[in-house]
Structure 1
Amino acid sequence: MAIYHFPDTLFLAGCGNMAGPMLTRWLECGLDPARVTVYRPSAAPVADGVRVTAQWPESLPDGTMVLLGMKPYQLGDVARHITSIDGSDFRLVSILAGTGMQSLRANFPHFDNIVRVMPNTPVGVGQGVCALYADERTSAAVRDEVQALMQPLGLAEWIADEGQFNLVTALSGCGPAYVFRFIDALAGAAARLGLPADQAARLALATVRGASTLAISADVAPGVLADRVASPGGMTRQGLNVLDKDEHLLNLLTETLRAARDRGEEMEKEV
């Protein structure tokens, strides 16, 4: 069983659709709930043993890891409250989409250690992707702490150029939605051609799960695996010819990622 390293104190500003599954996974992997405080206006409970408050705390222990898990438009108001909390050397982790380091620095001018993280929804089952970025003001020790915190969630990779962060978000952050849509379309196409819809859905899910597992364990690229399955003149090759014609699938996904990336850049300007 893996041994994970968690911060002594973790404070979550918000615990919604992304921060919630992250916290659930951390607790499953051994995070002591007594170390966690969650601020949410509703004060609705999140997990046994986790303190939830509808009031901003007056103080937090030095070195607390603070996770921004609310909506991006709430940044200014939340920053005003967090910067008034007594304590020092807080580590700030932001999972806010479309909110760049420049904006975070402007809202938290006295925080040296800030890390941007873009997780995706499979983090809740430990199969997620977390893209991380920090600038030169963030210490190497804090980078290591944040890396360790993301380890139970899946793959954690640092992005060297923040200018690529929205593209990475489009790929791995938005990517699960595109995969879900593909699975749905694969099943829908089979149903349209005559299979019972429930059977088509089961077969599509199992096919994608098996193919993904094989691709992860293989020592060659997924494109090579595709060609290995596709015998000349066979059924698979005939289908691939449709996807590959004029780079149709590649062009479609390029436009998909471009649209998501561009929206991220627009959101940064709005923030």
Structure 2
Amino acid sequence: MATVLQLPQPTWFIGCGNMGGAIIDGWRAGGLDLNPITVIRPSGTPVAGVRTVASIGDAGFEPKLVVLAFKPQKLDEVAAQLRQYVGNDTIVVSLLAGVELQSLRHRFPDTFAIVRAMPNLPVAVRRGVVGLYGENLDAQAQAQRFVNDLFSALGFAMWTSDEQRLAALGSVAGAGPAYVARFVAALTKAGMARGLTEEIAATIAQETVLGTVWMASANHEDMASVARRVASPNGTTEAGLAVLDGDEHVLDRLIAATIDAAARRGAELAAEARRVEEPARLS
């Protein structure tokens, strides 16, 4: 008999912006019981179907699982308040972009296990990509299996061997939905320029991207093969591909520069969090 996936009681979400909310939405869609979750956000703005409080002091019993889902720049401020509640039976999962495991361990020295997770927004519909990296997980196999199961419920989850590869995954998968959205918007504008209404152009662009990726995935086909099958010799598609492939593969260079920019910002955030300084406790 298969074991039912359950969140530990209690589970704390510290912050709940777009990504934290997407994870909760995905777990809800997957049928997980969300009753163990308490969301802690200073605004106190309710999260649908989940207990929400404005401060860590109001959260209740010490957590078994903590998900850090706030802006990386808030790490020291939050850690000063949270550290006393994180013990040797707590798993901390960090969604903080660029904040390395060593920086997290410095802030939470007594926690049982720390895992970095790099999800993307489609986890909300359980079609996400999640990169995972943790410390000394060979000795904590049960914690690794538990975290793996939680995030596998949201789509494709994979463990990376080091933080450099986790950062690479985040630069592509984490930021990727924004870049795909820009491409779909550009395709929509091109359709409108040819006389289509905005509604029709947007629908065509979205369904074309969705259908292409779905077909390639179902057929286990690479994108170069898809492009070759669509483009007839001397046809309309080939004329368009000549623009994308011309000028020394302008599209490839543009995407590479985009990913490089995201990676550089991630490295900057890591350097900021790497500062060795003991956060002062807030009164």
| Same fold per superposition (TM over 0.5) | yes
Q: SS in structure 2 opposite 1:130? A: strand
Q: Is the 8 A contact 1:118 1:130 kept in 2?
A: yes
Query: What residue in structure 1 maps to residue 174 of structure 2?
Result: 173
Shift of 1:175: 0.2
TM-score using structure 1 length? 0.92
Counterpart AA for 2:67? L
Counterpart AA for 2:165? Q
Name the CA distance, whole Å, in 2 between partners of 1:267 and 1:181.
24
Shift of 1:86: 6.8
Q: Deviations over 1:50-71 (max 9, x none)?
A: 3222232476357x11100111
Query: What residue in structure 1 maps to residue 253 of structure 2?
Result: 251
Distance 1:145 1:124, change over 3 A: same
Name the CA distance, whole Å, in 1 between partners of 2:131 and 2:113.
17
Name the CA distance, whole Å, in 2 between partners of 1:82 and 1:60.
13
Q: Is the 8 A contact 2:93 2:115 kept in 1?
A: yes
- RMSD across aligned C-alpha pairs, in angstroms? 1.9
Name the CA distance, whole Å, in 1 between partners of 2:65 and 2:209.
37
Query: For residues 140-179 of structure 1, what are the structure 2 equivalents within 5 Å?
Result: 140-179=141-180
Query: What residue in structure 1 maps to residue 95 of structure 2?
Result: 95
Counterpart AA for 2:135? D
Query: What residue in structure 2 maps to residue 19 of structure 1?
Result: 20
Query: What residue in structure 2 maps to residue 186 of structure 1?
Result: 187
Counterpart AA for 1:126? R
Q: Is the 8 A contact 2:89 2:111 kept in 1?
A: yes
Query: What residue in structure 2 maps to residue 134 of structure 1?
Result: 134
Q: Which moved more, 1:156-165 or 1:92-101?
A: 156-165
Structure 2 gap ranges (5+): 274-283
Name the CA distance, whole Å, in 1 between partners of 2:61 and 2:114.
17
Name the CA distance, whole Å, in 2 between partners of 1:230 and 1:124.
34
Counterpart AA for 1:169? G
Counterpart AA for 1:33? L
Q: Is the 8 A contact 1:4 1:152 kept in 2?
A: no
Q: Is the 8 A contact 1:98 1:166 kept in 2?
A: yes
1:108 equivalent to 2:118? Answer no
Counterpart AA for 1:163? Q
Name the CA distance, whole Å, in 2 between partners of 1:175 and 1:4.
32
Distance 1:100 1:87, change over 3 A: closer
Query: What residue in structure 1 maps to residue 280 of structure 2?
Result: none
Q: SS in structure 1 opposite 2:56? A: coil
Name the CA distance, whole Å, in 1 between partners of 2:241 and 2:253.
15
Q: SS in structure 2 opposite 1:67? A: strand
Shift of 1:4: 5.5
Q: Deviations over 1:151-204 (max 9, x none)?
A: 221111111121122221110000000000000001112222333333211211
TM-score using structure 2 length? 0.88
Query: For residues 30-45 of structure 1, what are the structure 2 equivalents within 5 Å?
Result: 30-45=31-46
Q: Is the 8 A contact 2:22 2:123 kept in 1?
A: yes
Counterpart AA for 1:147? N
Q: SS in structure 2 opposite 1:92? A: strand
Q: SS in structure 1 opposite 2:35? A: helix
Shift of 1:3: 7.4
1:213 equivalent to 2:221? Answer no
**Residue correspondences, number:** 268
Shift of 1:82: 1.8
Distance 1:4 1:29, change over 3 A: farther
Q: Deviations over 1:67-112 (max 9, x none)?
A: 0011111111211222212754100000011211121111111224
Counterpart AA for 1:249? L
Q: Is the 8 A contact 1:38 1:52 kept in 2?
A: yes
Structure 1 gap ranges (5+): none
Distance 1:150 1:222, change over 3 A: same
Distance 1:142 1:86, change over 3 A: closer
Distance 1:251 1:4, change over 3 A: farther
Distance 1:207 1:114, change over 3 A: same
Q: Is the 8 A contact 1:59 1:87 kept in 2?
A: no
Distance 1:59 1:205, change over 3 A: closer
Q: Is the 8 A contact 1:59 1:86 kept in 2?
A: no
Q: Is the 8 A contact 2:116 2:132 kept in 1?
A: yes
Shift of 1:217: 0.8
Shift of 1:131: 0.7
